[in-house]
Structure 1
Amino acid sequence: MIKIREATKGDVDILYNMIMGIAKFHDHEEFVITDKQKMLSAGFNENPKFGALIAEFNDEVAGYLSYTWNYSIWNGSEYMNLDDLFVWEEYRKHKVGLNLMQRAKEICSDKAINMIRWEVETDNIKAIDFYNRLGVTMKEKGLFRWDF
């Protein structure tokens, strides 16, 4: 049985471990700069900078989805920016990712928001196939990053 719930400050260790899990999956561990204290202070206060959903499969942590809220001046509305969607490998055939995405969509609907936006590595074919099965549209666009 799949249960999706909002993350709480008591979940910081779990979230951090899954962030490291997705970073390891993409061989990007060296790019994870955050730590548990930063996550705690940024995500679990009166004005959280991010939200996160935890998926449990038969009472075991199976995955997570993290997000932020952004505003599109072209659309004239707020939208959800999906930061990460990650499911531990042993749970990937159990619709955990689908349940996380459906819950994110419900959160948006409850706020009268009609768009979720996210990025995917272009060589992550399994993720792209998963998103295509949701019926979403992938827009090709270059991604720039300016670190200083």
Structure 2
Amino acid sequence: MTATFQPVAPAISIRHATVDDVPILLKAIVALAEHADDADEVACTEDDLRRFGFGENPAFEAIVAEVGGTFAGMCLFFPIFSSWFGRPGVFVQDLFVEERYRGLGLGERLLRHVAGLSRDRGGVYMRLSVDENNGRARDFYERLGLAWSHDQRSYIASGQIFAALGETGGARK
């Protein structure tokens, strides 16, 4: 009898990011920006990620996917709250899978992991945004059952506009 070769599935693990992951998290963020032709817009530094993600009062969390012990992807997220649902949820800021590991289902596994974490904390929804020119990502999210929010539009204030908005609206002591 002839034996047939069965490829071994790579060992995939998902874990919470640690401060030691900061360099690879930033590299993934820059890679996402490069994909959107916005790499020159990334002002984030490793120190920013350390301070705001792993300090005393973290503004975000991240999980890391590894294949055979090697970084393969990450998801950066933070809690949000819906006054309409009256419940918390989660906002996925960044989802990244290294090109060579795409097709292994890592993006889905990362999103499912984050949804599970949020659910365990009382969350009832997930929100994320996608670059309108990224059809591949839009198709991916729709395959997972995420719905495009046709009735909402996101706005952003940053830089000088944000500074001006906060100038007279800051907390009073």
Shorter-chain TM band: over 0.9
How does 1:23-62 map onto structure 2 within 5 Å? 23-62=33-72
Aligned to 2:143: 133
5+ long unaligned stretches in structure 1: none
Residue of 115, 125, 128 corresponding to 1:105: 115
In the alignment, the residues of structure 1 paired with residue 119 and residue 85 of structure 2 have an alpha-carbon distance, to the nearest angstrom, of: 16
User: How far did 1:124 drift?
Assistant: 0.9
In the alignment, the residues of structure 2 paired with residue 143 and residue 105 of structure 1 have an alpha-carbon distance, to the nearest angstrom, of: 22
Whichever residue aligns with residue 143 of structure 1, its letter is S
In the alignment, the residues of structure 1 paired with residue 149 and residue 33 of structure 2 have an alpha-carbon distance, to the nearest angstrom, of: 24
Whichever residue aligns with residue 94 of structure 2, its letter is D
Q: Once the two structures are superposed, what CA deviation does each residue of 1:93-129 show, in whole Å capped at 9, x if it has no partner?
A: 1111011011011101211211110001122111111
**Does the 8 Å contact 1:69/1:80 carry over to 2?**
yes
CA RMSD of aligned residues (A): 1.1
User: How far did 1:34 drift?
Assistant: 1.1
Aligned to 1:146: 157
- SS of residue matched to 1:139: coil
In the alignment, the residues of structure 2 paired with residue 99 and residue 145 of structure 1 have an alpha-carbon distance, to the nearest angstrom, of: 29
5+ long unaligned stretches in structure 2: 1-10, 161-173
How many residue pairs are counted as aligned between the two chains?
148
Aligned to 2:23: 13
User: How far did 1:143 drift?
Assistant: 2.5
Which of the pair has more CA radius of gyration? 2
User: How far did 1:2 drift?
Assistant: 1.4
Aligned to 2:129: 119
Q: How many percent of aligned residue pairs carry the same amino acid?
A: 32
Q: TM-score, normalised by structure 2?
A: 0.82
In the alignment, the residues of structure 1 paired with residue 143 and residue 73 of structure 2 have an alpha-carbon distance, to the nearest angstrom, of: 19
**Does the 8 Å contact 1:80/1:108 carry over to 2?**
yes
- SS of residue matched to 2:153: coil
**Does the 8 Å contact 1:57/1:96 carry over to 2?**
no
